[in-house]
Amino acid sequence: MNKNLRISLGLVFVLAPGLTHAAVVGDADAGKGKSLICAACHGTDGIGTAPENPNLAGQVPGYIADQLARFKSGQRANAIMLGMAAGLSEQNMADLDAYYSSLPAKRGAIPEDSVEAANRGAGLYRGGDQSMEIAACMGCHGPSGHGIPTRFPRVAGQKQTYLVNQLQAFKTGDRQSDGRIMNSIAFLLTRQQMENLAALMHAFQ
């Protein structure tokens, strides 16, 4: 079997068992009211207010609830988000998830000074690197970065700084993914490759 295919199949197998919120049905209207406390960092429209703050609008259903649960448990380390998630029930998380996933996603564009970087990132994103046994990013995040519910997040239009920061966190182990799949991939990436991928993903529509 092709190595890239083995890795892609492994991603599906490893990540699928972690679903924990399927039984809780979210209410987008309720989530809208609960999102007011999130607006300082993630905007009233779900678009992050700083380069380090992720866009939540249009995220794949299920992903935000899962990440909030990880922040609450400490599985995903972030002092601010730990405090924000500490008092959330599963219903609160599901409602916020339903609200943000219902919002229109940020439409990407390639900044003029990032065109070359995005072009370089396209090869790795769509084709991977067989010599390093790195699977194509599109295998989990889709050809245009729209993600695959519920465990493979939308990266299209996401902030470049945030994307690079997360790839770096996976590389160092400061952030863990199920089965350490993203850790093993990011560990092989150079800083320049991360920036190239971020430029491309930010540009996706």
CATH number for the domain that contains residue 190: 1.10.760.10
Q: Specify whether 113 is located in the same domain as 79.
A: no
Same domain, yes or no: 96 and 113: no
DSSP notation for 39-83: HHHH-TTS--SSTTSPP-TTPPTTHHHHHHHHHHHTSS--HHHHH
φ and ψ of 61, to 5 deg: -55, 135
**Look-up: residue for tokens 């909030």?**
68
Whether 192 and 120 share a structural domain: yes
pTM for this structure?
0.86
Residues 127 and 90 both lie in one domain = no
- The tally of domains found in the chain comes to 2
Answer yes or no: do 143 and 82 share one domain. Answer: no
Q: Same structural domain for residues 36 and 95?
A: yes
Q: Please identify, among 75, 102, 129, the residue that sits at the C-terminal boundary of a domain.
A: 102
- What pLDDT is stored for residue 161 in this prediction? 96
Query: Which of these three, 76, 102, 128, is where a domain ends?
Result: 102
pLDDT above 90: residue 23: no
Q: Dihedral through CA 163, CA 167, CA 168, CA 169, nearest 10?
A: 100
pLDDT at 105 exceeding the cut of 50: yes
Instruction: List phi, psi (to 5°) of 63.
Output: -70, -45
State the helix-helix crossing angle for 63-73 and 90-102, rounded to 10 degrees: 140
Measuring CA to CA, how many Å separate 9 from each of 3, 4, 117, 154? 10, 9, 29, 19
Same domain, residue pair 116 and 194: yes
Do 199 and 112 share a structural domain?
Answer: yes
For residues 183 and 173, is the Cβ–Cβ distance under 8 A?
A: yes
Q: What is the pLDDT of residues 161-192, one digit of tens each?
A: 999 999 999 999 999 988 888 999 999 999 99
pLDDT tens-digit map of 123-156? 999 999 988 888 899 999 999 999 998 889 999 9
Residues 121 and 189 in one domain: yes
Q: 186 lies in which domain range? A: 3-11+108-203
| 154 and 176 housed in the same domain | yes
Torsion sign, CA atoms 30, 31, 32, 35: positive
- Mean pLDDT is lowest, of 11-15, 20-24, 129-133, 184-188, for 11-15
Using CA atoms, how far apart are residues 93 and 4, in angstroms rounded to an integer?
A: 34
Residues 194 and 120 in one domain: yes
In this prediction, residue 112 carries a pLDDT of 79
Do 125 and 153 sit in the same domain of this protein? yes
Q: Where among 58, 78, 102 does a domain terminate? A: 102
Q: Which residue has the higher pLDDT, 76 or 110?
A: 76
Between residues 170 and 5, which one has the greater pLDDT? 170
- Closest by CA position to 191, among listed 171, 162, 174: 171
DSSP state of 94: H
Structural contact between residues 121 and 193, judged by C-beta atoms closer than 8 angstroms: yes
Is the pLDDT at 12 greater than 80? The verdict is no
> Is the predicted pLDDT of residue 17 greater than 90, yes or no?
no
pLDDT, position 145: 96
User: How large is the angle between the packed helices 191-203 and 115-127, nearest 10 degrees?
Assistant: 90
